[in-house]
Structure 1
Amino acid sequence: MTTTRLTVGQALVTFLANQHTVDGDVRERTIPGMFGIFGHGNVAGVGQALKQAHVDSPGLMPYLQARNEQAMVHEAVGFARMHRRRATYACTASVGPGAANMLTGAALATTNRLPVLLLPSDTFATRVSDPVLQQVEMPHDTSLQVTDAFRPLSRFFDRVDRPEQLFSIALAAMRVLTDPAETGAVTIALPEDVQAEQLDVPLEFLRPREWHVRRPVPERGPLDRAVAAIRAARRPLVVAGGGVLYSGAEQQLDAFARDTGIPVGTTQAGGGSLVWDHPQSLGGIGATGTTAANRIAAEADLVIGVGTRYSDFTTASRTAFQASDVQFVNVNVASFDAYKHGSQLPVVADAREALDALRAALGDHRVDAAHADRVAAEKAAWDDLVDEALLPTGSALPGQPEIIGAVQAASDPTDVVVQAAGSLPGDLHKLWRVRDALGYHVEYAFSCMGYEIAGGLGVARGAPDRDVIVMVGDGSYLMLHTELVTAVAEGVKIIVVLIQNHGYASIGHLSETVGSERFGTLYRRLDPETLDFEGGDVLPVDLAMNARSYGVDVIEVEPGPSAVADLSAAVTAAKASPTTTLIHVNSDPVVYAPDGEGWWDVPVAQVSTLPSTQAARDDYLRQQAAQRPLLG
């Protein structure tokens, strides 16, 4: 066997550079680059290997700089979604806090079923220097390391304790990374001494290798049962999730919905599965959904879930589907999701393959005219509500719906809106009119504050021919905005619409609904007498100046009756610019989007001395009465 002598770090970098994902006619590099923040642990291992590759073989494994370890994982996730999970980045971090700072990113990737390769450094495998700087010491188990915290957050975890283990671990990691049913955070822990150790590497390990994406077709029995259920249904509904997009099945869903007349509600991850003006598109479904989707869902006797994991927001905490005889056909490439909530009609298959098979088997079957008419009427009524909600009111401080309307009006169909946390995901789910399959990127499985700017950079890297519009509130901006420096340094253009409302708007609203009266959600000076933040002055924070200090172009929209028009003009100017632009706009946090008649289960204190909490508890019990113990 022909071999070459390399360090573990060099072998891993070379191996990753030669991995390719194949999905039908599409072939691309699985790991087109690596993010890294260097410190003790990886600077002499993977860091040295990246430098050597850059000198000896430019382009073999491009290095990308980041300002925060969590942020670089978010970038990889944003990139992976735009590539429909066929490609992602690797992320290397140093021992201790550098590694631990990637934990949130790992959880986000796994929850969203999106691939990312994490290479956290570890302390000495030999323990020759023990304990080392930044090592976690656990007296009851001295083998525990910071990287062990990745185990419950990863779909694959292993540690290279000896150089020879690299071969089997790297291959196993790639299998999970490219498996649509298993993918998520894939973690290979690398002790700092092992990274720099030499070994004889078989050339076969380093040669180009292809990983073919599995697209399993539905088995005949489950397919026949699903077809029979659809034919028997009087009021069917499709719930389209992220699996539709990862499968590239939006055209198949379009044809299925048109041919059968079955309406479609979309999850946050499934936004874009159908364009907003498709005759069967009812928009978002569930706790942040539309009245059109939620009213049809309440009466549905058959729900066809395609590529959805049925989160509590999608099911409105199991209150969305109220028909006593409702059944669920769950189409999912992962059996874990196909069997969710007691479904008796699981179809374990790829979304694209399953939709093609269902459409062929159903032939000329269509829904009843009465159901079709009801769907059309609910869609038209909701569209009218949205038209009204998006109109400028002339207020000095526009509400979020008006801001969304202004941004939408200035955007192009292929632009990508990026969001993750706060009140914006709910408003966007209802109001943003998606015109392209990949035009809606709201990370709502983990709903991570701080994802937006970093994730938006990943989206821009993954789709450099599109404008990326990051919409972010001041609370989320303050969590993680340093990747604006990365945007400036690398010339990666994003448009950031920063909505300033001096607090946590979403939690403030939620706090009111559970009787906590917006406690702790306002950005105010501490009152030395009451020892709270409820009545103090607004903080003199200048986030526009903060962005300017990073070298970002900034446009400030002044409060006033023309604020909405000025915002649209600012977005237009930002789109014309070749560089990253931040648009700062003040908003009224208590102007809400139209109610979509969804509910979210957030338990309220059973006993309280606060009248507001007592009233909220009564309302909670009323809503809770509609919950179903099982869906299917």
Structure 2
Amino acid sequence: NPEFQLVSINTARFDVTKHRATPVISDAKIGLKQLSNVLGDWKAPDNWYQRSIKERNEWDAYVEKQSGPTNQEVPSYAQVVGAVYRNADPSDIVVTAAGGLVGEVVQIWKPKQINTFETEWGFSCMGYEISGALGMKIAKPDNDIVVFIGDGSYLLQNSDIYSSVIYDKKLIIVVCDNSGHMVINRLQLAKGGKEYLCGLKTSRASNFVEVDFAAHAKSMGAESETVTSTSELEVAFKRAKESKKTYVIVIKTHGYEWLEGTAFWESPTLEVHTTDENKKAYAEHLDGKNKQRKGV
């Protein structure tokens, strides 16, 4: 669309400048309010507005189906997030940061109150989840803080569970164990590669050991349990809500099932293919490039 216009709002002069964008140096909330005043009675054409409603409703129906109750033996991230969301209070603050959980939580968790959704997505900061949640609990002591974290991030940074216990700052932590850094495994496969070291079960480990995350959390003073289904998870989450101290719930999750991303990500692959998978991935990459809005 040659008429596409982008407005960039940021408090920092350096960061507000984006390619082909009109920069506005402002606090986001104030800037949006001022832009709304300038727009006056302008609104998008009705056919565009109706299309946006239709596509949003279709997307909501898809997400609700994918994250709904399930009897699947090993649930997906989406099903786990959906189970917690259905039982959360409007005031609960959800926190996630890295791996595949970010993309799932941001699509499923529709905040019911302002300032109840926190995701560190820009740099996929593994380990931010629990430490960041502790800071939020200090700032919002009357809210329950709900953390979604993968086994990879948990292993990198978990010691603030102990901090939350000794300083009486209760967190609810849902550990989704899919045995490795499976979102990167997904990227490897999507770009025509083979599974390589990211999934623990397909790595070169000669002595693979299952980590007992519930026992580990309990050793730091938290209450904890392991569940084997989303129905058990829903009941466990209610127990966690009633608990007076940090509560960790561990559940095995599927490492190969994800919500659709739907957007093109310019993460390249091999131009000279050596396998059919490489060839397919490169063709998909070129197709995405052809549909790309140049300069945006």
Give me the TM-score of the superposition, normalised by structure 1.
0.45
Instruction: For 1:463 and 1:556, locate their aligned partners in 2 and report how far apart those are by CA, in whole Å.
Output: 27
1:417 aligns with one of 94, 102, 116: 94
Given that 1:467 and 1:494 are in contact with CA atoms closer than 8 Å, whether structure 2 keeps it comes out as yes
In structure 2, the residue matched to 1:314 is none
Give ranges in structure 1 of 5+ residues lacking alignment: 1-322, 527-531
Give every structure 1 segment of 4 or more consecutive aligned residues whose post-TM-superposition deviation is greater than 4 Å: none
In structure 2, the residue matched to 1:153 is none
Instruction: For 1:464 and 1:599, locate their aligned partners in 2 and report how far apart those are by CA, in whole Å.
Output: 40
Letter of the 1:625 partner, please give it.
N
Q: Secondary structure at the match of 1:625?
A: helix
Q: Secondary structure at the match of 2:286?
A: helix
Deviations 1:415-444 (A, max 9, x none): 111111110011112221122221111111
Q: Secondary structure at the match of 2:130?
A: helix
Given that 1:420 and 1:442 are in contact with CA atoms closer than 8 Å, whether structure 2 keeps it comes out as yes
Aligned CA distance change for structure 1 residues 540 and 379 (closer, same or farther; 3 Å): closer
Whether 1:325 aligns to 2:17 is no
Whether 1:624 aligns to 2:294 is no
Whether 1:542 aligns to 2:204 is no
Q: Secondary structure at the match of 2:138?
A: helix
Instruction: For 2:61 and 2:139, locate their aligned partners in 1 and report how far apart those are by CA, in whole Å.
Output: 35
Given that 1:474 and 1:499 are in contact with CA atoms closer than 8 Å, whether structure 2 keeps it comes out as yes
In structure 2, the residue matched to 1:338 is 16
Given that 1:402 and 1:564 are in contact with CA atoms closer than 8 Å, whether structure 2 keeps it comes out as yes
Q: Secondary structure at the match of 1:375?
A: helix
In structure 1, the residue matched to 2:226 is 556
- Shift of residue 583, structure 1, vs aligned partner: 0.2
Q: Secondary structure at the match of 1:601?
A: coil
What does 1:106-255 align with in structure 2 at a 5 Å threshold? none
Whether 1:587 aligns to 2:234 is no
Given that 1:473 and 1:501 are in contact with CA atoms closer than 8 Å, whether structure 2 keeps it comes out as yes
In structure 2, the residue matched to 1:199 is none
What does 1:49-448 align with in structure 2 at a 5 Å threshold? 323-343=1-21, 345-448=22-125
Q: Secondary structure at the match of 2:19?
A: helix
Q: CA RMSD in A?
A: 1.9
Aligned CA distance change for structure 1 residues 550 and 353 (closer, same or farther; 3 Å): closer
Instruction: For 1:597 and 1:406, locate their aligned partners in 2 and report how far apart those are by CA, in whole Å.
Output: 23
In structure 2, the residue matched to 1:284 is none
Given that 1:523 and 1:539 are in contact with CA atoms closer than 8 Å, whether structure 2 keeps it comes out as no
Instruction: For 2:276 and 2:186, locate their aligned partners in 1 and report how far apart those are by CA, in whole Å.
Output: 17
Whether 1:569 aligns to 2:235 is yes
Q: Secondary structure at the match of 1:394?
A: coil
Given that 1:453 and 1:481 are in contact with CA atoms closer than 8 Å, whether structure 2 keeps it comes out as yes
Deviations 1:444-490 (A, max 9, x none): 11111111111111111111111001111111111111111111211
Deviations 1:226-278 (A, max 9, x none): xxxxxxxxxxxxxxxxxxxxxxxxxxxxxxxxxxxxxxxxxxxxxxxxxxxxx
Given that 2:195 and 2:202 are in contact with CA atoms closer than 8 Å, whether structure 1 keeps it comes out as no
Aligned CA distance change for structure 1 residues 371 and 537 (closer, same or farther; 3 Å): same
2:142 aligns with one of 465, 478, 488: 465
- Shift of residue 374, structure 1, vs aligned partner: 1.2
In structure 2, the residue matched to 1:61 is none
Given that 2:9 and 2:26 are in contact with CA atoms closer than 8 Å, whether structure 1 keeps it comes out as yes
Q: Secondary structure at the match of 2:31?
A: helix
Structure in which a larger fraction of residues adopt helix = 2
Q: Secondary structure at the match of 2:283?
A: helix
Q: What number of residue pairs does the alignment pair up?
A: 296
- Shift of residue 608, structure 1, vs aligned partner: 4.3
- Shift of residue 520, structure 1, vs aligned partner: 0.9
1:598 aligns with one of 252, 257, 263: 263
Aligned CA distance change for structure 1 residues 619 and 472 (closer, same or farther; 3 Å): same
Give ranges in structure 2 of 5+ residues lacking alignment: none
Instruction: For 2:75 and 2:202, locate their aligned partners in 1 and report how far apart those are by CA, in whole Å.
Output: 24
In structure 1, the residue matched to 2:172 is 495
Given that 2:68 and 2:79 are in contact with CA atoms closer than 8 Å, whether structure 1 keeps it comes out as yes
Letter of the 1:384 partner, please give it.
A
Q: Secondary structure at the match of 2:113?
A: coil
Aligned CA distance change for structure 1 residues 334 and 525 (closer, same or farther; 3 Å): closer
Identical aligned pairs, as a percentage?
A: 31
Give me the TM-score of the superposition, normalised by structure 2.
0.93
Instruction: For 1:395 and 1:346, locate their aligned partners in 2 and report how far apart those are by CA, in whole Å.
Output: 48
Instruction: For 1:616 and 1:403, locate their aligned partners in 2 and report how far apart those are by CA, in whole Å.
Output: 30
In structure 2, the residue matched to 1:478 is 155
Give the structure with higher Rg (CA).
Answer: 1
Q: Secondary structure at the match of 1:606?
A: coil
Instruction: For 1:525 and 1:409, locate their aligned partners in 2 and report how far apart those are by CA, in whole Å.
Output: 34
Given that 2:175 and 2:250 are in contact with CA atoms closer than 8 Å, whether structure 1 keeps it comes out as yes
Whether 1:578 aligns to 2:244 is yes
Instruction: For 1:337 and 1:414, locate their aligned partners in 2 and report how far apart those are by CA, in whole Å.
Output: 32
Aligned CA distance change for structure 1 residues 592 and 352 (closer, same or farther; 3 Å): closer
In structure 2, the residue matched to 1:612 is 277
- Shift of residue 398, structure 1, vs aligned partner: 1.0
1:508 aligns with one of 185, 190, 194: 185
Instruction: For 1:603 and 1:508, locate their aligned partners in 2 and report how far apart those are by CA, in whole Å.
Output: 15
